[in-house]
Chains A and B, each alone.
Chain A
Amino acid sequence: MKTVEELERIRKQAQAMTRLREGKETTRIVVGMGTCGIAAGARETLSAIMDELAKRNIQDVVVTQTGCVGLCEQEPIVDVIKPGAAKVTYGKVTKEKARQIVASHIVNGQVVGEWVIASA
């Protein structure tokens, strides 16, 4: 290695690989993965979110799942929790809606109001 800049470049790239383990507070997307969620297509929703994040090279977002929250008819349910902001819950999130949520809520900070079922 000839320069410090080269090391910096590798470091920046590699940090994406380990960021998940740092436990720092970041935006979280939580997908309902109860039996009801999975039956309603939550797997595809989750895949779409992952794919969209990867495409846009967004690394500081954590994607996790949760069980049934008792709103089965609204599944697939997706929560978006930004640090310091209230939790926003979206209902009936198809894979197309999921991509849209990543684009406007995660990237541009615009909550997609019409799909929101709860906000706390």
Chain B
Amino acid sequence: MEFYRSHVLVCGGTPCVLEGCKGVRDALIAEVKRRGLDREVKVVETGCLGPCDLGPVIVVYPEGTLYQKVRVSDVPEIVEQHLLKGRVVTRLVGEAPQAGVVKYEEPTYLGVQERIVLRNCGVIDPESIEEYIARDGYRALAKCLTEMKPADVIEAVKKSGLVGRGGAAFPTGLKWSFTANADADQKYILCNADEGEPGTFKDRLILEGDPHSILEGMAIAGYAVGANKGFIYVRGEYVLSIERLGKAIEQAKALGLLGSNIFGSGFSFDVEIRKGAGAYVCGEETGLIESIEGKRGEPRIKPPYPGTEGLYGKPTVVNNVETIANIPPILLNGPDWFRQFGTERCPGTKVFTLTGDITNKGLIEVPMGITLRRVIYEIGGGIPGGREFKMAQTGGTSGGCLPKELLDVPMDYFTLPEHGSALGSGALLIMDDSHCIVDIAECFMRFFEHESCGKCTPCREGTARLHEIVAKIARGEGKPGDLELLDELGSVMQVSSLCGLGQAAPVPIKTMLKYFRDEFEAHINDRLCPTGTCGI
């Protein structure tokens, strides 16, 4: 039996990898050994801890001290002072996001956070199925397979009020019931890990930090709807996600938690990984299905919906990574437990990637319905450099922009659309008053023009014209009537585009016109940028 008095968790999430955490980990292992502490202190690589902007990040247990921006040259001091003598190296604890010694359970950056999806991220070694099992892993699957009928599982998910976290907010239990009721010899579960939304990296960090939770959630979904095969469609550049998922699948198979006759229940389930080549439209569920089938990634005409006619024409559930990560805790703890988080209409939590002009950037999970103000000022540490908040882009480029008047609107899937915005995938891009709205609009519209697959005319032409008009305004060549034209063109695209790409492309521009119209007008009428930054 191995017994260690201290665990040093080194964050191995991609943002920390980019900051050089591998070197820090190796140096820690070497130094701990050199000091003769290797039988007392264990170095563990884990998933994202949250404060990605402060990487490489490490946490020392049992104290729960979080060290940030750790360099290889800091390692001898940490080992000598903390691991040998028990003294916190205060200079590496930093001022933001917390001061002094922190308990991992309650550091301030976790203050208003609630961890359901990220329950294991940064706590376990994602490459160890044992550590996942230690934290109740695969117990929900065991419970479903041995104590519940498929219909009970669907009922529980329905009662939990869980809605899809991939952007469209469709009720997950209802979606499953369509596939469960479809009569077919073969059904599929697809996990959508394409995550093409600019500014979003939560699915990546969930997969890297807790891959088994996805396998378990998919197996439960498979049992509920009668599918014995699952595919995870991952963006090809998510190298670490793919590697860890691959290892997780191997481990689960070795223990018989995937494969045939799981828990002697007669239910069998297998999962395979499919890599995407990085087209935004392949995140759209039917484009994704086409891509898995080896065809060009273009959306299909709906209906029929994937629930009844999806992959290879068979009934198929498509769910986002975060949606699936919610499944095991919901089944293990029950729908009522889940409903105590978030709001009545929208229970549970939301994982956000907090980026832009904000002090604490990184990955957070908060109760659904939290206000933007609390996220920015209580978790995010406010706007740096003494600047003013100007706007937040919620839901990625397909979402809308929230001005400071809306800082107190509850953020959930139903309230934000009432203000013309969307919660979307969970990107939160914060911008201060140094940014020009027209400049940002131009950048977003360029993205959509580039990503439109060209299958339908409203989107192919619409995204190009939206970009053209905005680019002209940005160059100081705008003319009266342009803003009305943008509005009208956007409305046409919203009602006539084939898929969500063309339907959502006008959303950011429409909210910008609604809340920052005077800035567009200044560019057109006065050939002037009020922020003086866009070079008009």
Contacts and interface: CB of A to CB of B under 8 A. Distances in A.
Nearest to A37: B85
A4 B130 contact: no
Given A18-B124, A53-B3, A7 B133 contact: yes
Interface string B116-150: 00000001100000110111101100100010000
Interface string A58-70: 0100111111000
A21 B85 contact: no
B134 A18 contact: yes
A1 B265 CA distance: 10
Interface string B50-81: 00000000000111100000000000000000
A16 interface: yes
A14 B85 contact: no
A102 to B, nearest CB: 12
B404 interface: no
Contact of B136 (A11, A16, A31, A53): A11
B178 interface: no
B86 A17 contact: no
A46 B130 CA distance: 28
Contacts of A34: 85
B264 A21 contact: no
Contacts of B105: 23
A15 interface: yes
Interface in A57-83: 57, 59, 62-67
Nearest to B5: A63
Interface in A22-70: 23, 30-31, 33-34, 38, 46-47, 50, 53-54, 57, 59, 62-67
Given A20-B61, A21-B9, A34-B85, A46 B40 contact: yes
A33 B5 contact: no
A3 B262 CA distance: 8
Contact of B40 (A13, A17, A38, A50): A50
Q: Which of A11, A13, A17 has the most CB of B within 10 A?
A: A17
Given A1-B263, A17-B131, A23-B105, A67 B87 contact: yes
B231 interface: no
Contact of B86 (A23, A33, A57): A33
A11 B134 contact: yes
A10 B133 contact: yes
Contacts, number: 96
A63 B19 CA distance: 31
B4 A20 contact: yes
Interface residues of B, number: 40
A20 B298 CA distance: 49
Q: Which of B2, B124, B130 has the most CB of A within 10 A?
A: B130
A50 B142 contact: no
Contacts of A46: 5, 40
A112 B135 CA distance: 36
B505 to A, nearest CB: 44
Contact of A10 (B40, B62, B130): B130
Contacts of B103: 23
A67 B84 CA distance: 10
A14 B134 contact: yes
Contacts of B9: 21
Contact of A64 (B39, B86, B142, B256): B86
Contacts of A54: 1-3
A50 B139 CA distance: 32
Contact of B7 (A4, A21, A38, A59): A21
Interface in B244-277: 255-257, 261-264
A7 B142 contact: yes
A2 B262 CA distance: 6
A67 B142 CA distance: 47
A108 to B, nearest CB: 20
Nearest to A63: B5
B133 A4 contact: no
B104 interface: yes
Contact of B5 (A38, A57, A62, A66): A62
B6 interface: yes
Q: Which of B5, B6, B103, B255 has the most CB of A within 10 A?
A: B5
Nearest to B124: A18
A65 B86 contact: yes
Contact of A21 (B1, B5, B123): B123
Nearest to A31: B86
Contact of A13 (B130, B136, B256): B130
Contact of A2 (B3, B61, B130, B264): B264
A18 B263 contact: no
Contacts of B124: 18
Given A18-B135, A65-B84, A4 B263 contact: yes
Interface string B284-324: 00000000000000000000000000000000000000000
8 residue pairs, one from A and one from B, having the closest CB atoms:
A65-B86, A14-B134, A63-B5, A54-B3, A1-B256, A14-B130, A23-B105, A33-B85
Interface of A: 1-4, 7, 10-11, 13-18, 20-21, 23, 30-31, 33-34, 38, 46-47, 50, 53-54, 57, 59, 62-67
Interface of B: 1-7, 9, 39-40, 61-64, 84-87, 103-105, 123-124, 130-131, 133-136, 138-139, 142, 146, 255-257, 261-264
26 contacts: A3-B264, A4-B142, A10-B133, A11-B133, A11-B136, A11-B139, A17-B131, A18-B124, A18-B135, A20-B4, A21-B104, A23-B64, A23-B104, A23-B105, A33-B84, A33-B85, A50-B3, A50-B5, A50-B39, A50-B40, A54-B2, A54-B3, A57-B1, A59-B3, A65-B84, A66-B86
Given A4-B142, A21-B62, A62-B5, 19 more contacts: A7-B138, A11-B136, A11-B139, A14-B130, A15-B134, A18-B123, A21-B61, A21-B123, A23-B64, A23-B105, A31-B86, A33-B86, A50-B39, A54-B1, A54-B2, A57-B1, A59-B3, A62-B62, A65-B84
